[in-house]
Amino acid sequence: MSGERTVVHLMRHGQVENPHGVLYGRLPGYHLSELGRRMALQAAESFRGLDLVHLRCSPLERAQETIAPVVEIVDLPVITDGRVIEADNYLEGRTFSAKNSALKDPRTWRYLRNPLKPSWGEPYRQIVARMRAAIADAREAAAGHEALIVSHQLPIWMARCDAEGRRLAHDPRRRECTLASVTSLTFQGSRLTAVSYREPVADLLPGKERSTKFVAGA
């Protein structure tokens, strides 16, 4: 029915074990930390009792590990969807810790010449297009109910900017998308009617997480 109310939740993964401050991007082998696993468990509890009928997830380990506790609660299959993967980044694998930042290397500066595109990686509009398509598929699959997509900070923020009509170019430090946070899109039929945001693991965020650190990957 065209007037059915459907909610698509976009959840960011939990904290990743990354002691050296590597911009891990799409690199394999980056898993949730012990705190990240606690975040995943606590965030999953916030979905208990909701009308979830559809799950999809980024193929990266940290996202798959974050959705696993939700699966235990709702007993649904997970669709692995490459369209909700982390943004591509040419600086992937570089270290951005306070003591050893790749930003001090002149060879990286050319990637920072145009933050509006951005020149360091996948264009914002490309991220929006793939997230919009994945959200539409999730909405159709969960028509009249609720769906959950576990993704990454930048793709979720781009989806929210698109939904709210914001400019895509932004200061990464001002993204409202903390670890294991949930951005929810409510549709009436195919029409977006509301966007909301919540932090089910706010009490676990280290020092009220600075959600926009460029160094952390997302």
Interacting residues of 90 by C-beta distance below 8 A, sequence separation 6+:
111, 120, 121
In the structure, what pLDDT confidence band is assigned to residue 144 with cuts at 50, 70 and 90?
very high
CATH number at residue 144: 3.40.50.1240
Q: Inform me whether the pLDDT recorded for 216 exceeds 50.
A: no
Q: Across residues 106-133, what is the average pLDDT?
A: 77
| Cβ-contact 30, 16 below 8 angstroms | yes
pTM of full prediction above 0.85: yes
Per-residue model confidence (pLDDT) at position 210 = 46
In the structure, what pLDDT confidence band is assigned to residue 214 with cuts at 50, 70 and 90?
very low
Range of the domain at 184: 5-213
Q: Inform me whether the pLDDT recorded for 218 exceeds 70.
A: no
Tens digit of each residue's pLDDT (9 = 90 or more) over 55-87: 999 999 999 999 999 999 999 999 999 999 999
Per-residue model confidence (pLDDT) at position 213 = 42
Number of domains present in the structure of the chain: 1
DSSP 50: S
Asked whether residue 28 is domain-assigned, the answer is: yes
Whether the link from the prior residue into 118 is cis, omega within 30° of 0, is: yes
Asked whether residue 50 is domain-assigned, the answer is: yes
Asked whether residue 218 is domain-assigned, the answer is: no
Per-residue model confidence (pLDDT) at position 208 = 53
State the chain's mean pLDDT as an integer: 88
